[in-house]
Amino acid sequence: MQTSAEGTSPVEPHLLGDVLPELAVELERHLIEANACDIAEQVRTLPILARCGCDGCGSFYTAPEPDGPWGPGHQSWGLNSQLILDLVNRRIVFVEVLDRDDIRDALSRLFPQQNP
Ligand SMILES: [Zn+2]
């Protein structure tokens, strides 16, 4: 792991569009269909900060995990039965991915240190 001389961010975040390009395309498609272009354009550059700790799901955080609830401005947006977005003031903060072994496996390769 490289350390940054400028002391900005010590770890380069994994970006959704780089790591899970197929999921990024899928999310974008759903959001554009829902006329949510402002949200669709966030998708590719979303940082994957942590994955959900529970067993078997492929959900991940794209904003730091809050201490409690997400707070005002939070909404949950189901795109289909497998994909649910959590938004705060129309920023994607958490992507819930259910029953998708491909995504779950990719995430466990990214975060091997995080055991459920
Ligand atoms: Zn989970």
Assess if residue 6 is contained within a domain. no
Domain count, the chain: 1
DSSP one-letter code for 17:
H
Calculate how far, in angstroms, residue 114's C-alpha sits from the geometric centre of ligand 1.
12
Q: Is 43 exposed, middle or buried (0-12, 13-18, 19+ CB in 10 A)?
A: buried
Assess if residue 5 is contained within a domain. no
Calculate how far, in angstroms, residue 108's C-alpha sits from the geometric centre of ligand 1.
12
Average pLDDT over residues 60-76: 94
Assess whether pLDDT exceeds 90 at residue 2: no
Assess if residue 115 is contained within a domain. no
Calculate how far, in angstroms, residue 57's C-alpha sits from the geometric centre of ligand 1.
5
**Distance, CA of 79 to CA of 31 (rounded, Å):** 8
Calculate how far, in angstroms, residue 3's C-alpha sits from the geometric centre of ligand 1.
31
Assess if residue 85 is contained within a domain. yes
| pLDDT score for 55 | 74
Calculate how far, in angstroms, residue 59's C-alpha sits from the geometric centre of ligand 1.
6
Assess if residue 9 is contained within a domain. no
Assess whether pLDDT exceeds 80 at residue 116: no
Q: State the residue range of the domain holding 93.
A: 14-110
Assess if residue 1 is contained within a domain. no
Q: What is the dihedral of CA 88, 115, 82, 79, to 10 degrees?
A: 10
pLDDT, tens digit (0-9, with 9 covering 90-100), for 49-65: 999 988 778 999 999 99
Assess if residue 3 is contained within a domain. no
Average pLDDT over residues 87-96: 97
Assess if residue 27 is contained within a domain. yes
Average pLDDT over residues 57-74: 94
Average pLDDT over residues 98-105: 93
